[in-house]
Structure 1
Amino acid sequence: MKKIIVAVDGSELSDKALDRAIFEATRHGAEVLCVNVVEGLTFLAYKREEIPDAWERLMREPNKLLAEAAQKAEAAGVRLRTLAEAGRPAETIAKLARQEKADEIIVGSRGKNALDNMLLGSVSGRLVQIAPCTIVVVR
């Protein structure tokens, strides 16, 4: 195994997914790509001229989560890159997995937004359907 993608959103289960990714990377000498995907539809609430400021505000939390993940990986001696994207989470993560030729994607079984999970289906469930590689769903 050479490359692992892990999705983080600040939920308890995404923290467990990150821990699992670091463990697997240590075990296999793999690189980790840690991703946070901001729902692309969020921008519909803003006027065009407000989007740059809105983007900065929206990215504060993801950037903080990704910085914390990088520190955790560094402490474990794991190579980790971070990436914040906008879009539909499952589709964005699957696309990244194809581009990166990832061997595995690790995600929590439920994200931060339980309402979205109930109404739209979970990101992990969708990834199981569309991902180009092995999916590990952490509970």
Structure 2
Amino acid sequence: MFKNILLATDGSPASEQAALLAVSLARENAARLTVLFVIEPYPYLGVGEASAVGFQAYMSQAYEQAAQAHARVSALCAKAGGPADLQLRRGEDAHAADSIVQAAVEEQADLIVVGSHGRSGISRLMLGSVAAKVVAQSPLPVLVARQAPA
């Protein structure tokens, strides 16, 4: 049914739940799995106190987080016995939801898998929901995995 699945991860527990589902779906469907980690734009550009050192530290930490998230998904794939076709990708210079939808279109994915922290009320209004934005923007199906209760 699915031939190309895009998994968006940020390395959070909610993303881990999404990764488990995406790996399982990819294995069951002999599908290609593209794992995307979006590096959000540096938040202090245009602010008087922004510095090259701060930017470099931000990017270095973001690249390390991306590498760790990709390593966790690669380990899940190895443990589950698939999928055979795993591609790792970073998105940069755009907000997460935009990058996820753009990457899915570029990769010709037929499913996007994202995690949701399950926030509600004020915290959801203040922080927004990347998953909700992806669902609203995506021209293709989106599977949202809720974070397992603690």
Instruction: Please state how far the C-alpha of 1:70 moved relative to its aligned partner.
Output: 1.2
The equivalent residue for 1:19 is 20
Greater helix percent: which structure? 1
2:69 to 49, 65, 70: 65
Is residue 8 from structure 1 mapped to residue 22 from structure 2 by the alignment?
Answer: no
Cα RMSD of the aligned pairs, angstroms, is: 2.3
3-state DSSP class of the match of 1:34?
Answer: strand
1:12 is aligned with what amino acid? Answer: P
Structure 2 gap segments, 5+ residues each: none
Instruction: Please state how far the C-alpha of 1:66 moved relative to its aligned partner.
Output: 0.9
Which stretches of structure 1, 4 residues or longer, exceed 6 Å deviation after superposition? Answer: none
3-state DSSP class of the match of 1:102?
Answer: coil
The equivalent residue for 1:55 is 59
Spell out, residue by residue over 1:76-110, the C-alpha distance to the aligned partner (whole angstroms, 9 max, x if none). Answer: 22122111222200000000011111100011122
Instruction: Please state how far the C-alpha of 1:54 moved relative to its aligned partner.
Output: 3.6
Percent identity over the alignment? 27
2:5–2:33 contact (8 Å) kept in structure 1: yes
Is residue 99 from structure 1 mapped to residue 96 from structure 2 by the alignment?
Answer: no
Q: How many residue pairs align between the two structures?
A: 137
Instruction: Please state how far the C-alpha of 1:68 moved relative to its aligned partner.
Output: 1.6
Instruction: Please state how far the C-alpha of 1:23 moved relative to its aligned partner.
Output: 0.8
Instruction: Please state how far the C-alpha of 1:10 moved relative to its aligned partner.
Output: 2.1
Q: Distance in 1 between matches of 2:117 and 2:4?
A: 23
Q: What TM-score, normalized by structure 2, do the two folds share?
A: 0.79
1:82 to 65, 88, 101: 88
Q: Distance in 2 between matches of 1:110 and 1:118?
A: 13
3-state DSSP class of the match of 1:40?
Answer: coil
Rg larger for: 2
Structure 1 gap segments, 5+ residues each: none
3-state DSSP class of the match of 1:101?
Answer: coil
Q: Distance in 1 between matches of 2:11 and 2:125?
A: 18
Q: What TM-score, normalized by structure 1, do the two folds share?
A: 0.85
